[in-house]
Structure 1
Amino acid sequence: MTAPEILLCLCTCPDAVSAQKLAEALVGERLAACVNRVPGVLSTYRWQGEVNTDGEELLLVKTTVARFDALKARLLELHPYELPELIALPVDRGHAAYLDWVRGATEDC
């Protein structure tokens, strides 16, 4: 079995404005094929010694392994958080035509 080429990345944003800005930049720059925005997420986390709960938007970002480093660099540049969440999960199965589309939509021009 070969290593997965497609990644599903998770990233939270503090609000709809920053989520939209990130989604448009990542797709517009061909770093992601698609970004789904899930509003109304409540996140509970420990930060600087305190437990906090905040509303966020969750981004579901579809990209390739080949584009991940560039996506990460751009996300860290644009994200308003001091320590943004970015978790990449390998996609080892899916609809072949969709996965081909992800590859094509993220090809470096």
Structure 2
Amino acid sequence: MLRTLSLWLHSAVTGSYVSGTYSIVFVNCPNEQIARDIARASLDKKLAASVNILPKASSLYFWNGEIEEATEILLLIKTKTSRVHVLSSYIRLVHPFEIPEVFSLPMDQGDVHYFKWLEEGMEED
């Protein structure tokens, strides 16, 4: 929490972006309707500022000792790094997979105006 506050203050004072303030969360979904439901709810709950839905990702993976193959929908969820844990917990609650694929990568560099837009998109009303 203290780190998040200090990053926010640094960004506000300098007008620059501090690496790692935002993250992209990757989530595979079994179909487009579930992907859209998770995307919309994440936005409604202000857990994300933007979500891309990428159709028809081919997935191969081990499950119960066997190689499985499936077509899934990939979500790219842009959020504050400080909210990744809450977002991941929410996804586990609503996702139909026994073990949903949910992981994040911090955003290292990018356009300062885009990061400001992300911040504004996640502000509480």
Contact 1:37–1:59 at 8 Å: present in 2 too? Answer: yes
More helix by share: 2
DSSP 3-state at the match of 2:96: coil
Aligned-pair distance for 1:108?
Answer: 4.1
Highest RCO, 1 vs 2 (Cα 8 Å, sep ≥ 6):
1
Report SS of the residue matched to 2:20.
coil
**What's the counterpart of residue 115 of structure 2?**
99
Q: In the alignment, what sits opposite 1:21?
A: 37
Amino acid at match of 1:76: R
Is 1:90 matched with 2:106? yes
2:96 to 53, 77, 80: 80
Question: Could you say which structure has the higher strand fraction?
Answer: 1
TM-score (norm 1): 0.93
* Structure 2: segments with no counterpart, 5+ residues: 1-17
CA distance in 2, matches of 1:13, 1:48: 19
Asked whether the equivalents of residues 67 and 106 of structure 1 are also in contact (C-alpha less than 8 Å), the reply is no
Deviation for aligned residue 1:107? 3.0
Using the size of structure 2 for normalisation, the TM-score is: 0.82
Please say if residues 24 and 107 of structure 2, whose CA atoms lie closer than 8 Å, have aligned partners that are also in contact.
yes
- 1:1-109 aligned at under 5 Å gives the runs 2-109=18-125
1:35 and 1:106 mapped to 2: Cα distance? 12
The Cα of 1:70 is off from its aligned counterpart by 1.4
The runs of 5 or more residues in structure 1 that have no matched partner are: none
Following TM superposition, where does structure 1 have runs of at least 4 consecutive aligned residues deviating by more than 3 angstroms? none
Distance in 2 between residues matched to 1:13 and 1:80, nearest whole Å:
8
Distance in 2 of aligned mates of 1:66 and 1:101: 17
The count of corresponding residues between Structure 1 and Structure 2 is 109
